[in-house]
Amino acid sequence: MRLSQMLFVTLREDPAEAEIPSHKLLLRAGYIRRIASGVYAYLPLMWRVLKKVSNIVREEMDATGAQECLLPQLQPAELWQESGRWETYTKAEGIMFALTDRQEREMGLGPTHEEVITAIARDMIRSYRQLPVHLYQIQNKFRDEIRPRFGLMRGREFIMKDGYSFHADEASLQKTYADMDWAYSNMFRRCGLEFRAVQADSGAIGGAASQEFMILAEAGEDEVLYTEDGKYAANIEKATSLPPDAKPSAFVLYEKRETPNTKTLDKLCQFLNCSPTEVVKNIIYLVVYDNGRMVLVLVSIRGDLEVNEVKLYNELAKLAPTYGGNAIIAVDIPSEQVQQQLTLKPLPLGYIGPDLADNYITPAGQLQPGFLRFADRTVVELKNFVTGANETDYHIVGANWGEQFPLSDRIVDLRKSQAGDRAVHDPSQVLKSARGIEVGHIFQLGTKYSEALGATYTNEQGDNVPLIMGCYGVGVSRLAQAAVEQSYDKDGIIWPVAIAPYHAIICIPNISDIQQVEVGENLYTELNAVGIETLLDDREERAGVKFKDADLVGIPYRIVTGRSLKSGKVEVVERATKTSHEIAISEVAATLKQWIDAALS
C-alpha cells in the first residue's frame, strides 16, 4: 500500500483522552479513533494487526481440533434468566447492555456466550458418543463498563476469542484444559509477547480451576505474584503464600487494658510496644445479595495482614443460597453512616473483638440478625494475642482461643498474599511481584451452566447427566494494545514482526529524485511479490517527517532509498534496535525474508 493512497494521518501531540503509552501511541499513529466512550474504530493499520492476531489464535485453536463458529451478539433475556445471570448482569452489576425490541422482548448484547452455547448443546448433544466437542468464535463482545479506559484495554466493545468445550467426564475436560494451556502459550509466544500463565480467580463466570495469561507490562491493571523457580505464579487475587513469621507474644497474662486513642493498629502497637503479628484485628464488612438481603460480616485476621476481598467475595458467594439469593451485589466495609443505620448502638470501631455481640444489629427489614463470623487461617495459631475489648479505648492482651474467645468455625484463607511472602511449595522461594495485562483466561466450568439450562446427555451407563464444560477466552483487541504497551520507545511503537501491520516500509527521502523513486518503486513491487508486506512512503513530505512517521507507526524494517544508492545500496534500519545496515539493492528481499522468517520461527 502507498501512503499517498492510504488514509494516513499521524498526530504530533499526545491526545488528551489517553492515559497510558500504548493508548497514546495507537491514537497518534492513526491506528484507532474514538467514536464513543470505550468504543473505537479500528482503522486499516489496526485492522491488519487484529487480523494477524486473530489468525494466530485461529491456527492454534484449529490445531487442537476445536471448531470455529459464530454465535449471535443479540441474546434473548430468557436464556440468561435460565442461568440466573440476567438480573446480575443487566441490573445489579449492569455490565450487560440490555434493550427491548419492537415486540417488547428483552434482549442483551453478549458479554460472553455460556448461555447461548449451552442452549445449542442442549439441543444437539444427546449421547456420550458425540463428546468431546469444542466450539469457538472470534467476535465483538460488549460490556457496559463503569469506567471504560486505556483505549482498547477496557473498552465497551472489544474483540474476543471465546471457546466452550463439552465433555463426558472430568478427565476429558482436563485434557482439553491442558490442550488450551498449550495452545494459549503458543499463541502468545507466536505473537512475540512476554507473558506468564498464572493461577486465577474464576470470578463471575464460575467453575473450579482457572488460569490467566498475563502480558507483563508496567501499565497492567493486574498484579501477579510468582517465584523465580518458575513453579508458582498467580494473580494476586488468587495467590496463596506462607504468612511472614510472627513473633511470640509477650503478653502471657490475660488482661483488659485501657488503650486510649489507639483506633489504628499503628497507634495500638506503639502504645503497647508490641508487634502487629501479636494482634487479631477484626473487620466488619457488609454483603448485599441480589435478593436485597444484607449480612454484616466479621473477619478476624492477624494484625500485619490484609484481607483479600476477592477471596472473601468467593466465600460469601457460596453462602448466597443460605440467604435465598443467587449472587452478590456488593461487599464493602460499610461507612460509619451506614453502620449507624444498621446497628442498634454505635460500634466500638477500632476496638472490636472477635466476640462482638450479635445484639449490635437490628434484625429488621432485609438485614440478617447476628454477625457472620470468619477467621483467616493466620489467627488460628496465635497465642496470648492482643485484640479489641468491644469498648472504646480498651483492648485485651494475652488472650487465647477457646479460653477467652471462641474461634469461628468458618476458618478459611482470606489473606492477601504479597511480594516478599514465602512460597507454599518451597519456603526458600520468596514471592516476587510483577504487573500484567490479562489477555487470556481458561476455566474448568464443570456443570454450572449445563445444570442451570438442563443440558444433559446419556452416558455409557444409559443415565441422563449434565454435560461437563470448560471455557476459554482471549482478548484479541486487548492483546494487540498490550503488545504495544510491552514494546515501544520514545519515538513510537515497536511491533513484534508477527503482528506488525506491515513488515517493511520504504521511505523515498526525495520524491523529485528520479533514481530514488525508481529504486523505491521497484523494491516495493519486488518485496510485495515475495510476500514481504511493504508500505511505500511516496508522499510529498520531507525525509524527516517520513522517518518520524515510520518510527511512530512501528514497522519493523525501514528501507531508505537515499544517499547509499550511489554505491548500489539502500539503508535498512531495524525499528527495535535502530541498527542501520547498508544492503545491496539486489539482496534486500532475500535479507529481509531471512530476518522475518527468523523472527516468526
Q: Which residues bind a copy of itself (CB under 8 A)?
A: 1, 5-7, 9, 30, 33, 35-37, 39-44, 46-48, 50-51, 65, 67-76, 79, 94, 97-99, 101-103, 105, 107, 109, 116, 119-120, 123-125, 129-130, 133, 135, 137, 140, 142, 144, 146, 156-157, 540
Name residues whose C-beta falls within 8 Å of residue 563's C-beta, 6 or more positions apart in sequence.
Answer: 571
CB nearer to a copy of itself: pick between 5 and 270? 5
- 8 Å CB contact between 496 and 544: no
* Grid cell digits, residue 148: 471504560
C-beta neighbour count of 94 within 10 angstroms: 14
The C-alpha atoms of residue 10 and residue 29 are separated, in whole angstroms, by 5
The C-alpha atoms of residue 226 and residue 212 are separated, in whole angstroms, by 13
Report the first-to-last Cα separation within the chain, whole angstroms: 26
In the complex, least distance from residue 103 CB atom to a copy of itself, rounded to whole angstroms? 8
* Grid cell digits, residue 51: 487480523
The C-alpha atoms of residue 277 and residue 246 are separated, in whole angstroms, by 5
In the complex, least distance from residue 39 CB atom to a copy of itself, rounded to whole angstroms? 5
Cα of 584 vs its chain's centroid, Å: 47
In the complex, least distance from residue 28 CB atom to a copy of itself, rounded to whole angstroms? 13
Q: What angle do CA 493, 30, 185 make, to 5 degrees?
A: 45
- 8 Å CB contact between 56 and 509: no
Name residues whose C-beta falls within 8 Å of residue 564's C-beta, 6 or more positions apart in sequence.
Answer: 570, 571, 582
In the complex, least distance from residue 588 CB atom to a copy of itself, rounded to whole angstroms? 25
In the complex, least distance from residue 74 CB atom to a copy of itself, rounded to whole angstroms? 5
- Roughly what angle, to the nearest 10 degrees, separates helices 514-529 and 588-600? 40
CB nearer to a copy of itself: pick between 54 and 408? 54
Local structure of 105: helix, strand or coil: coil
In the complex, least distance from residue 71 CB atom to a copy of itself, rounded to whole angstroms? 5
In the complex, least distance from residue 287 CB atom to a copy of itself, rounded to whole angstroms? 22
CB nearer to a copy of itself: pick between 97 and 394? 97
In the complex, least distance from residue 462 CB atom to a copy of itself, rounded to whole angstroms? 17
DSSP letters spanning 356-400: --GGGB---TTEEEEEEEEEEGGGTT--SEEEEEEETTEEEEEE-
Q: Which helix (H) or strand (E) holds 73?
A: none
CB nearer to a copy of itself: pick between 135 and 367? 135
In the complex, least distance from residue 468 CB atom to a copy of itself, rounded to whole angstroms? 16
CB nearer to a copy of itself: pick between 146 and 529? 146
The sign one gets for the Cα dihedral 495, 496, 501, 506 is positive
CB nearer to a copy of itself: pick between 4 and 464? 4
CB nearer to a copy of itself: pick between 166 and 371? 166
Local structure of 80: helix, strand or coil: helix
In the complex, least distance from residue 334 CB atom to a copy of itself, rounded to whole angstroms? 24
Q: What angle do CA 333, 338, 343 make, to 5 degrees?
A: 100
* Grid cell digits, residue 212: 490467566
CB nearer to a copy of itself: pick between 142 and 188? 142
